[in-house]
Amino acid sequence: MNKKDKNIVVREKLMTQKDVVFTCGIKDVLGRIQEYRVHGHEVTDEMSYCITENTSFGKAMNVQKFGPTCVTLYTFDMLNNKTTGKIKYEDVTIVEPEVEESNPLEKIPGFIGTEKG
């Protein structure tokens, strides 16, 4: 898959998957790779997106547009100064959600601890 095709795949995942988590190689002060989450919501008849840190409370930026090579972000501070940024699709790595495996012993009928009382 060439770079252009990869950019298209990443762009579509960011725009269409609900609450997709990704990294882009940025480390926090402790040296950990930062994870981000894309949130989408419908405003009037148009979708609006924002990107937040993948924590309970964190920084967020609004998505201005999903371009062909990068996503353009913006935010305003308390003094109404606009800050913009860009994340290149080639730097984005989608984080696959962890699937919790169930205990296989629970599937055996009559196994001690699996019967309902």
pLDDT at 46 over 90: no
| Percent of the chain at pLDDT exceeding 70 | 86
What CA–CA distances, in Å, run from 41 to 5, 16, 44, 48, 102?
26, 11, 10, 5, 33
DSSP-derived 3-state class of residue 106: helix
Is the whole model's pTM more than 0.75, yes or no?
Answer: no
- What is the reported pLDDT for 29? 79
Closest to 12 measured CA to CA, from 25, 22, 43 = 22
Distances (CA, A) of 12 to 52, 82, 94, 111: 18, 27, 12, 45
CB distance 64 to 51 below 8 Å = no
Per-residue pLDDT at 117:
52
Average pLDDT over residues 104-115: 65
